[in-house]
Each structure stands twice: as C-alpha cells, then as structure tokens.
Amino acid sequence: MKVLVIGSGGREHSLVWKLAQSPRVTRLYCAPGNGGISELAELVPIGPEEIEKLAGFAEREKIDLTVAGPELPLTLGIADLFRKRGLRLFGPDRGAAKLEGSKAFAKELLRENRIPTAAFATFSDAALARKYLAGRKPPYVVKADGLAAGKGVLICVTRGEAEAAVDDILVRRAFGAAGEQVVIEEFLDGEEASFMVLTDGENILPLASAQDHKRVFDGDLGANTGGMGAYSPAPVVTGEIHRRIMTEILHPILQGLRKREIRYRGVLYAGLMIAADGPKVLEFNARFGDPECQSLMLRLTSDLVPLLEATIDGRLDQVKAEWADDAAVCVVMCAGGYPGAYEKGKEIKGLERLKDWKRGVVFHAGTTKQEGRCFTAAGRVLGVTALGNTIHEAVLEVYRAAGQIEWDGAHYRKDIAQRALRPTRG
C-alpha cells in the first residue's frame, strides 16, 4: 500500500520510521518532510496547510492511507475534505479537532461533562480579563485560545505578569489569530503526564504513558517550547491513575462529543496534571504529542498500520497494541536562541557516528540536506531517542549519543526524565 505522512517534524520522522517497518507498506511519501525523512520516504513539496493540494496529490498517486501529523491541517478540515473525496485519512475531522484548536471550546466541554480540570474564565476584552485577575490570587495560567505551536500557555507568578500576558495576547496579538480570546485558569499543583489513546469515537485503545518537558531550561525554567524531551513510560501514571483517566476523563469526553453529534476518530491526547486528588485535564491535543511520539514509536512492537486502519474503520475493539518492556527517552536538540529568534543553516556534525546505533534513533525535526551534508532548518532540530532496560539506562544512552552531535549554538536540556528517577519512584 502507498502511505502519505503530512508534516516535517520529529513526530513525523518517527511515524515514517515506524510505518517503513510495516510489511504492508510498499511506498512512503512525506509532505513536506525533512532531511532525515528523505532517507525513508519520497518528499513532496506541499505544506501541511495546503489541504486541497494534499488531497489532489493523494488522488493522483492513489494513496491508500494518509496520516496527518500536525494539528494545523486537522483544524483546517483536512479529514473532512479527504473523506468527502473518498480518501482514507487518519485524524479527526474539523469539529473534533476543535478540542485542540480552541481551548475555550475544550474547557466548556469539560465543564459541561463535569470532567476534572482547573477553574477558568474566557475573555475577548482585555479590561474584563484584568478585572477578573484582580479578584483571584496568583499564580495564574494565561492561555491564547487558538493554536500557538506549544508556546501560547503562560504561567504567571504575579498579577502584573498575568496582566502583561493578557495584553500580549489580546492587545498586541503576540500569537496572531490564536489570541482572539484568552483563557485564564487557576494554577494546578502536581506532576504533568501525557496520556494518548487511539479512538474510533466509541472504542478506546490506550497507548503507553509518557511525560514531556515543555520549559526550555533545566529544572523546568524559562519559556514554554514545543517540547524539549520526553520519556515513556511515565511512573506517575500508576494503574489506579490509568483507571481514573479512562473512567473520569476519556470516556466522558467522548460521550460529551457524541452528544454534540461529533464522532472523534484519531489520536486523542490528554495533557494532564496528576494532582494529590487525582488526574485533571490541562489541555487536549488532536494528534500525537511531539516529542512523546518519538519515545512511543521506539517502544511500539506492533505494526502501526492495522492500528491506524482500525481507528478509521471503527474496529479498535478488534486490535491490540504491543509494547517493549524497555523504557525510551527522547532529548530534543535545538538551535541557539530557541524558542526565541534563532539562525538556520548551521551544519550538523557527528550524525555519521550514530548511523548504526543499535539502541536508539536520531529523529530529525528541523533539518535539510544539501549535497550529502545536513543543516539546521528550524528551532527544534533533532530528537535523539534511546531505549534502555530502565529509564536510568535509557537516560545514560541518550546523553551518550547526544554528546556526539554538534553544531554552532546547539543546546538541549541535561535533565530529561529526572522526575522519573526520583528515589520515591522506587
């Protein structure tokens, strides 16, 4: 079968890498892809937002399965377009993808279905938002309503910071159209976890647990990013927490969507805070997490194709996902200055040393190849991902590998997965 993956990041490289192992896949395409993906798939120069062109390509090339990697094409309605044209695409339709596309919509749905989440209020007027802040105690969480590439969530320690964040979003429009509304939430204490499932709208197939690191610097300091690293499994998701996530969050949210005549088919990613009194929803995403996907694909021993097809066809109760006992850790290597302004075009050295790496894969996130040489092309450049018998072993392996790669200005966190290595974790 012919498969097309949409996107150009580390998530998409890991999906292409996994799909390439399926005996059912005869030809792989990726639009637009990156330097690393070019070694496994034919690159197609169409952007993820060009959904009409993508549908045209899928028709011309008789693509059997398309996998939408990033959130943008999903929120633009690519699944609706493909299904209208009789094309098979893995990913939720536009109505379901609104769970990620609008934080206000997601929060209203959570409240409507009595699903545990932080108290919140939504504003489109900056003066009303500031008045609301005056009646609440810090810290505050201020969120741009729409898509902001993982950077639209601001944790504010003081009221002044929160007011400045409101002005940035609503007045100065730092996040463009994503900032037409702002959501202000109470700050939740606890430990974050990423819980992803496949769902056909009725059945739910949980994937392995994971945890990512959003802040740019060690110790969870600095600005939010698209993700600086991840690991799987996440020890904080115990058997009891897993049960509560399924019964208190995932089944109710799907039921709530069905009440609105929305059938969710694809990956549903719940970003959670595991608080003292149980799991609470921070946000939903309508696609695989990045960089969590890199760790999951390394651990997944099942063929990915039947899982994706069962999701599309409403047969998820007939398939299983098998996972390696090994732990996986992903460390994201970034361009100097990221998540702020950064330079592109820096030559990456050392990749050849890891060409035959047995215990991991270097997934490309923002690279381009020219005459056999590899250069940086985005803020997040590589996702170095390793397996280990334990998380500790995977951490040692991943940092040994990352240390062999270099370019001018490269930086990455040195404490990925440290939460999972605390003595209290046993």
User: What is the rounded radius of gyration, in angstroms, for the C-alpha atoms of the chain?
Assistant: 21
Q: Which H or E run includes 31?
A: strand 27-32
Same domain, 238 and 179: no
- Give domain status of residue 306, yes or no: yes
On whether the CB atoms of residues 388 and 397 are closer than 8 A, the answer is: yes
Q: How far apart are CA 2 and CA 44, in angstroms?
A: 14
Same domain, 162 and 198: no
Sign of CA pseudo-dihedral 127, 106, 165, 72: negative
Q: Which H or E run includes 120?
A: strand 120-123
Q: How far apart are CA 173 and CA 181, in angstroms?
A: 10
Q: How far apart are CA 16 and CA 31, in angstroms?
A: 11
Same domain, 69 and 10: yes
Same domain, 65 and 47: yes
| Domain final residue, candidates 299, 318, 337 | 318
- Give domain status of residue 54, yes or no: yes
DSSP tag of 168: I
Residue type, 32: P
| Domain final residue, candidates 295, 318, 341 | 318
pLDDT < 50 stretches in the chain = 424-426
Same domain, 172 and 282: no
C-alpha distances out from residue 147 to 129, 182, 202, 359, Å: 20, 12, 27, 35
Same domain, 157 and 218: no
pLDDT at 174: 87
Is pTM beyond 0.85? Reply is yes
Same domain, 175 and 195: no
Same domain, 258 and 309: yes
- Give domain status of residue 107, yes or no: no
pLDDT at 178: 85
pLDDT at 150: 67
On whether the CB atoms of residues 113 and 249 are closer than 8 A, the answer is: no
pLDDT at 425: 41
For 173, the domain range is 119-186
Q: What is the tens place of the pLDDT at every residue in 50-71?
A: 999 999 999 999 999 999 999 9
- Give domain status of residue 111, yes or no: no
Helix (H, G, I), strand (E, B) or coil at 258: helix
On whether the CB atoms of residues 70 and 48 are closer than 8 A, the answer is: yes
Q: What is the tens place of the pLDDT at every residue in 388-426?
A: 999 999 999 999 999 999 999 999 999 999 989 875 443
pLDDT at 424: 46
Q: For residue 205, give the nearest of 71, 297, 292, 322 by alpha carbon.
A: 322
Q: How far apart are CA 323 and CA 299, in angstroms?
A: 6
pLDDT at 423: 58
3-state helix, strand, coil in the chain (%, to 5): 35, 30, 40
CATH number at residue 170: 3.30.1490.20
Domain count across the chain: 4
